[in-house]
Chain A
């Protein structure tokens, strides 16, 4: 256990946030421009835009919007509806209010169009900002912190520098009581047996193997893996090669559970997030870009995300800060203004894996204490949510909960 603490934002459900964001959420693409204009014209960095573009109903999208709007880093919410989309705006509004947060709903068709909605929305943001600022502060310790990790723009260096360094950082965070989440079962094809052997129960191991088998089947039906052309340019040749490198982000801790998007880790430990939809492929690629994975991490309660990159991603995220760990020294030289940690020093023989892991760990603490990550300071607030379908997780997926 660690004695580290920070001052968190205490929410009514008992969870604590490391940020106090006012979220403006558009409920269909038709409301996107007006919602974005409100956020931009508010001129505030602590007002973030999120949303769902689809007009057709989708349980997953509803669940993600609920989870994001009631995330511990969120202090208040403005919903922006066109008026005729199928997202259940009243139920979403009720959910946010029931979580103890101030929330307002603005319906463009009822307001009388773009100009009036924008003016109304700017007033609402001011009220909601005041309400969010009244949130009480409370000491927050490591066992209340949730940290996610993803990789994007991987190359041959990701799996030998940044990913194993994040793995060592995860080992320390888990040992100190934090909940850590790694993901993309589709990027773990070929590692399923090794992963299953690390599960805290044999039944969980079976669930983990099944989740990877599902991912393999899903990607096979689509005809593609998560393997992108940039990966091959960077020296990676196959899905399973990328998988082994990606897998090293998880470290060596036992795997305590298997989550699906929106499931909150019940306690500290290491968790695998299954992001591949259940059933026959219906809506296309599981995650169409890196930020879709970050949004699912956030829906699982992640306060911040460790993002490893070889080729050089620049993204951040709405709601939860992103810490960028650059694997490739050449990429770091080109994009150093976008990176928090230079794990490429390992290849230059300037730092050991353990030293870079330590640097990542301290970066996690600093960002949790309120320091802006590099992408956060640059104003990156990407957010993307698409159609998906999931069945609830089975009872073997969270053994700690079952044995309570």
Chain B
């Protein structure tokens, strides 16, 4: 069980990757081994526990957006399943296509 993810604030519901982790690796989530369903790069987030559509995502102890669909414990939390509550994020593959909502 690898210590590849850190908790930044006790109220957070996501953990941050500090060492690139391959798919299937068992990582420590609150003392329990969780098998990663996908590879995760440094800086990316995984769910600390099951998250559901509309849940606030909490990092640094502050809400950083809302879930668009659910994520199980250990699942990647990123553009595909969460969004900003303020401003749409834009990504490289939407070049010239306007805001990515």
Contacts and interface: CB of A to CB of B under 8 A. Distances in A.
B42 A347 contact: yes
Interface residues of A, number: 36
Q: Is the interface of A mostly helix, strand, loop or mixed?
A: loop
Contact of B43 (A223, A240, A310): A310
Given A160-B6, A235-B17, A237-B45, A223 B98 contact: yes
Interface residues of B, number: 35
A219 interface: yes
B43 A237 contact: no
Contacts of A219: 87
Nearest to A159: B60
Interface in B22-57: 41-45, 57
B65 A241 contact: yes
Contacts of B77: 237
A190 B92 contact: no
A229 B90 contact: yes
A60 interface: no
B90 to A, nearest CB: 5
A4 interface: no
Interface of B is mostly: loop
A209 interface: no
Nearest to A219: B87
Nearest to B99: A223
Contacts of B16: 156, 160, 235
A234 B99 CA distance: 19
A224 B57 CA distance: 21
A239 B59 contact: no
A143 interface: no
Contact of B65 (A232, A240, A330): A240
A238 interface: yes
A238 B8 CA distance: 17
Interface in A236-254: 236-241, 244-245, 248
Given A191-B62, A225-B87, A244-B59, 19 more contacts: A156-B17, A157-B43, A160-B6, A160-B8, A160-B16, A189-B87, A224-B88, A224-B99, A237-B45, A237-B65, A237-B79, A238-B82, A238-B85, A239-B89, A240-B63, A240-B65, A240-B85, A241-B65, A347-B19
Interface of A: 155-157, 159-160, 189-191, 194, 216, 219-220, 223-225, 227-229, 232-241, 244-245, 248, 310, 328-330, 347
11 contacts: A157-B42, A159-B60, A190-B86, A216-B86, A220-B87, A223-B99, A235-B45, A238-B64, A239-B86, A241-B57, A310-B43
